[in-house]
Every structure is written in C-alpha cells, then in structure tokens.
Amino acid sequence: MAKNKRSQLHRESTFRRIWRTRQGYALLAPYFLLFFMFTVLPVIMAIALSFTSFNMLQPPQFVGWENYIRLFLENEVFMIALQNTLIFAVVTGPLSYVMCFGLAWIINEMRPKLRAVMTVIFYAPSISGNVFFIWGFFFSGDRYGLVNGFLLRWGIESDPINFFRDPDYILPLLLLVQLWLSLGVGFLAFIAGLQTVDKSMYEAAAVDGIQNRWQELWFITLPSMKPQLMFGAVMQITTSFAIAETSTALAGLPSVNYAGETIVTHMMDFGWIRFEMGFASAIATILFFMMLGTNKAVQHLLRRVGT
C-alpha cells in the first residue's frame, strides 16, 4: 500500500515537473518529431524488415532468422565486407581521430589569421564533394597517371600498374584516400573545444605542480573538452563504418575480387540493385549494432580521460 502511494506521488511529481517546463517541451517537439520520423522510425522499420523477405513488389513475408543465417553461413562476400569494414574502422577510425586532434592542437597555437587559413586548408577536402577523384588521376592505370609516370620514368616498373583493378592495391589505397578525407566536422569541433578552454586553468595548474605540456594536455585540456571529444568520436565512428562512396567511385561496385567491398556497399548491392530489401535490412541492422557497440566502448574510454 505504501509502495503504491509512493509510486503515485512520484508520477504526480513527474507530471507536475513536466507541466512546469512545458514551454521547453513545446520547443523540442518539432525536432523530436523530425528525429523520430527520419531516424528512430527508419531504424525500427529496418530491424522489422530484416526478419522478412521483401522485394518491394509484394508484401513482406516473415521468414524469421533466415536472412541472418544466410548472411553469416551462406554469404562469403559478406565476410569479406565485414573484414574490410573492420579494417577501415580499426585503421582510419583511431588514426584519423588522433590526426584530427593533433592537427587541431597544433593549429590552435598559431596566430588567429594563420589559424583560420590552416583550418580551411585541412578542412576543405572533406567538404569538396567528389574531390577524392584526384586520387584516381594520381593512381591512373595508364602511363599518364602521376604514380605510373614516375615508376616508368625511373625504371622501377616496365608496364603501368592498374592500381584500382589490382586486389593487392585496392584496400591500401582506399585506406589512404579515406585518411585524407577524414578531417571533417570532428576536426572543427576539436578546434572549437580548444578555443573554449579557460587559460587561467593552466596558470593554476602550474602552481599545483604541472610541469610540461603533456601533463597540461592530459589533466586540463582533454577533460575541459570532453563534449567535443565525444562528438568527434561519434563522427569518426560513423565515417569509418559507413565507407561506400569512395570505394564505389574508385574501385567500382563490385570491386575486383571484392577487395574494396564494405558492409555499406554490400547493402547497396542487395538493396538498390537486387531489391532484396529484407536481406539488405539485415545487413543494415548488423552495421547499426556494430556502430552502437563501438560508440558505447568509446564513451567508456573517454570517461577515463584526465583520471
């Protein structure tokens, strides 16, 4: 009886608190509706469709775990795509994250005008559309490509190398291009976060015994910009797991021997070309939980910063 009464009082206090802050909820409502319609609802629908057979012409038919069994036990290309995606995530994710912060830290020490110029230079590739096609010119498969021209001129190779048609070169080159494109909004967030650190904290830290820049970085700078670090981590995780456009543009869809296949390109193959939407939804669901798990792990690591 007493427990039910406490529960009722708790509900009443919750409703009363919501009513007091109703203006805030009213302002959040448009964003919440858009977020639910275009983010939450599609995720729920994709998870539901992953248990069906759906070709967009006939109504979905429930097939249970058949798509997932087929994905892991019968689809060898998916295992190649999974391996390539994990390589992209492990290499380009942490490395580009460290690159973003390191360059932001260096640029932040420059004079304001020079800092603005350097920020534009490093950020420009990520907002320049299909600028990665310049790498197609560098590694062109004929003797007019810059790399092939150099190799032939100096006698290192006797015939041009078709880089993006050779399975031995495709994945390393895609990793290189993706690293070049990785200085995006996370890079800007780090620069903004470094600008907000209270400079008086460094003076106080010097009095307390901080002796060098590395200690300042670990005990003052990083703890002061944890929101920006978290935002940058989420963006890098999303980018490293969702690589597709660079691979399809430079290596083709599908790439030779599926050397550049990723989970997203595999999903595009079944969803946009074969119209097996149930199977494509199963691939998307696997990718979603991979990204979610990685995001939780990164949050746990970032909580230790400065401790």
> In this predicted model, what pLDDT tens digit does every residue of 93-141 receive, in sequence order?
788 888 888 888 888 888 888 888 888 887 777 777 667 778 888 888 7
Q: Could you tell me if residue 106 is inside a domain?
A: yes
Regarding whether 70 and 45 lie in a shared domain, the answer is no
pLDDT at 305 over 80: no
Regarding whether 118 and 23 lie in a shared domain, the answer is no
Return the HEC string of the chain.
CHHHHHHHHHHHHHHHHHHHCHHHHHHHHHHHHHHHHHHHHHHHHHHHHCCEECCCCCCCEECCCHHHHHHHHHCHHHHHHHHHHHHHHHHHHHHHHHHHHHHHHHHHCCCHHHHHHHHHHHHHHHHCCCCCHHHHHHCCCCCCCHHHHHHHHCCCCCCCCCHHHCHHHHHHHHHHHHHHCCCCHHHHHHHHHHHHCCCHHHHHHHHHCCCCHHHHHHHHHHHHCHHHHHHHHHHHHHHHHCCCHHHHHHHCCCCHHHCCCCHHHHHHHHHHHCCCHHHHHHHHHHHHHHHHHHHHHHHHHHCCCCC
**% pLDDT > 70, the chain:** 92
Regarding whether 261 and 142 lie in a shared domain, the answer is yes
Give the chain's domain count: 2
Q: Could you tell me if residue 59 is inside a domain?
A: no
Mean per-residue pLDDT for 276-289?
91
What is the per-residue pLDDT for 8?
A: 54
What is the per-residue pLDDT for 296?
A: 83
Regarding whether 75 and 8 lie in a shared domain, the answer is no
pLDDT in tens, 174-220: 888 888 877 777 778 888 888 887 777 776 767 767 777 777 777 77
pTM of the model: 0.79
* CATH code (residue 225): 1.10.3720.10
d(CA 32, CA 27): 9
Regarding whether 72 and 35 lie in a shared domain, the answer is no
pLDDT at 3 over 60: no
Q: Could you tell me if residue 56 is inside a domain?
A: no
Q: Could you tell me if residue 57 is inside a domain?
A: no
What is the per-residue pLDDT for 25?
A: 82
Regarding whether 247 and 173 lie in a shared domain, the answer is yes
Domain that holds residue 127: 65-302
Regarding whether 178 and 35 lie in a shared domain, the answer is no
